[in-house]
């Protein structure tokens, strides 16, 4: 099963807290009036310039094990090694907001409108995260619709560069998935172009498979402090 999905930017536009969360601002802190106005403009610009498109494909668990192995640079043990053998369905995905939004951010910086450019960048980062959740839900819907997973199953995305999966793991992922079809390319340094892009795997199974209980060495070096909380609320078709 392989699908390309294009969605309206409106469905992934972040709210004010979502944007400001990407600027290091404390959650629910009240921004100055000027900042609040700019956030609104940034979200409006994002709606105009984002072209969200994703591709996902189901792959066999044995194949996923090879993709995950990457170039042998993963931190081991890592949480994904523990989760994926318990997954019932496995997919790969790549998504992007497209080049136009990145060009707009660049143009704003060039014309001296850097506060707005920065907030558009933060809004786009937040939207990319929201888009990932949409893609995960689409994948889950697709496997459930064809009876390959029970409707009470849950899904979560895992990306190279996180959870001990080395960022160079993207090379194998790209070889297998081929997201050139939706305009994403992977550079020599494993940077995706366009910048507002995400690559990863989707693992489907009972909610408990996503829970990260052990303390892994890769967690100590990671700047993402929300992953355990995220693991507690995987994407589900039915509210639990």
Residue 70's binding partner among ligand B1M, other proteins, none (Cβ under 5 to 8 angstroms by kind) is none
Residue 109's binding partner among other proteins, ligand B1M, none (Cβ under 5 to 8 angstroms by kind) is other proteins
**Closest distance to other proteins from the beta carbon of 4 (Å):** 24
Residues forming a β-bridge with 185? 193
Residue 160's binding partner among ligand B1M, other proteins, none (Cβ under 5 to 8 angstroms by kind) is ligand B1M
- Among 117, 143, 146, which residue's Cα sits nearest to residue 204? 143
Site size with other proteins, rule: CB under 8 A: 34
Nearer to ligand B1M, 22 or 153 (CB): 22
Residue recorded with tokens 């999905």: 5
Binder among 1, 7, 25, 75 for other proteins (CB under 8 A): 25
Binding of residue 112 to other proteins (CB under 8 A): yes
Residue 134's binding partner among ligand B1M, other proteins, none (Cβ under 5 to 8 angstroms by kind) is none
**Closest distance to other proteins from the beta carbon of 29 (Å):** 8
Q: How many angstroms separate the CA atoms of 213 and 223, rounded?
A: 18
Binding of residue 35 to other proteins (CB under 8 A): yes
The pairing of beta strand 89-96 with beta strand 2-6 = unpaired
CB 72 within 8 A of CB 209: no
- Among 217, 213, 196, which residue's Cα sits nearest to residue 76? 217
Binding residues (CB under 6 A) for ligand B1M: these are 22, 125, 128-129, 159-162, 167, 170, 191-192, 195-200, 222-224
Q: How many angstroms separate the CA atoms of 164 and 80, rounded?
A: 8
Residue 188's binding partner among other proteins, ligand B1M, none (Cβ under 5 to 8 angstroms by kind) is other proteins
Residues that bind other proteins (CB under 8 A): 20, 23-26, 29, 31-32, 34-35, 38-39, 105-106, 109, 112-115, 117-119, 121, 161, 167-168, 187-191, 193, 195, 223
């Amino acid at each position: 099963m392989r699908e390309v999905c294009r969605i309206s930017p409106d469905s992934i536009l972040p709210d004010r807290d979502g944007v400001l969360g990407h600027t290091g601002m404390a959650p629910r802190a009240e921004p100055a009036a000027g900042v609040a106005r700019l956030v609104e403009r940034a979200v409006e610009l994002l709606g105009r310039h984002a072209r969200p498109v994703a591709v996902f494909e189901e792959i066999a668990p044995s194949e996923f094990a090879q993709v995950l192995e990457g170039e042998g640079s993963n931190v081991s043990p890592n949480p994904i090694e523990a989760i994926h053998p318990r997954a019932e369905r496995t997919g790969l995905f790549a998504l992007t907001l497209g080049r136009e939004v990145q060009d707009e951010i660049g143009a704003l910086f060039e014309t001296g409108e850097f506060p707005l450019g920065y907030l558009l960048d933060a809004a786009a980062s937040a939207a990319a995260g929201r888009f990932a959740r949409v893609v995960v839900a689409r994948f889950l819907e697709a496997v459930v619709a064809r009876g390959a997973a029970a409707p009470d199953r849950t899904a979560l995305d895992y990306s190279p560069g996180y959870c001990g999966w080395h960022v160079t793991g993207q090379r194998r992922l790209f070889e297998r998935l081929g997201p050139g079809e939706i305009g994403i390319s992977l550079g020599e340094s494993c940077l995706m172009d366009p910048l507002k892009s995400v690559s990863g795997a989707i693992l489907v199974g009972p909610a408990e498979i996503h829970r990260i209980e052990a303390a892994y060495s890769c967690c100590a070096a990671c700047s993402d402090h929300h992953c355990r909380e995220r693991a507690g609320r995987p994407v589900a078709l039915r509210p639990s």
